[in-house]
Amino acid sequence: MSNKIKIDRVGLYGQKILIRWDDSHECTFGAKEIRISCQCAQCVEEWSKRQLLDPATVPSDLTAEDYLFVGKYAIQFLWSDAHYTGIFPFDVLRAMCRCARK
């Protein structure tokens, strides 16, 4: 998948993230929903895959303050709780989509 995807922060304070995929499918995620699925070494223990992050510690009004593309395959979000080490591959985000899959 190329990085022709587009990201928009939506909702009153940007607590939702709208992703427009290059096949014109659109998904809306809660910022917190993406944040708590973070797979970085601070959030998930590498060898056991045990989740170290307690989702309850992530504020429900979390927002993505900024984001950047990592190569052509992933997005790195700068969350308002100052966590930004997580990298979210496009295919992982797409797999989180709850819309009907094609």
Q: List contacts with Zn ion (CB under 5 A).
A: 27, 38, 40, 42-43, 86, 97, 99
Q: Which residues pair with 19 in a beta bridge?
A: 7, 27
Q: How far is the CB of 85 from Zn ion (least distance, A)?
A: 5
Q: How far is the CB of 61 from Zn ion (least distance, A)?
A: 18
Distance CA 56, CA 34 (A): 14
Q: Where are the beta strands (DSSP E) in the chain?
A: 6-10, 16-20, 26-30, 64-70, 74-79, 87-89
Q: Looking at beta carbons only, is 45 or 61 nearer to Zn ion?
A: 45
Q: Looking at beta carbons only, is 31 or 86 nearer to Zn ion?
A: 86
Q: How far is the CB of 83 from Zn ion (least distance, A)?
A: 6
Query: Tell me, what DSSP letter sits at residue 57?
Result: G
Strands 6-10 and 87-89: unpaired
Q: Looking at beta carbons only, is 14 or 36 nearer to Zn ion?
A: 36
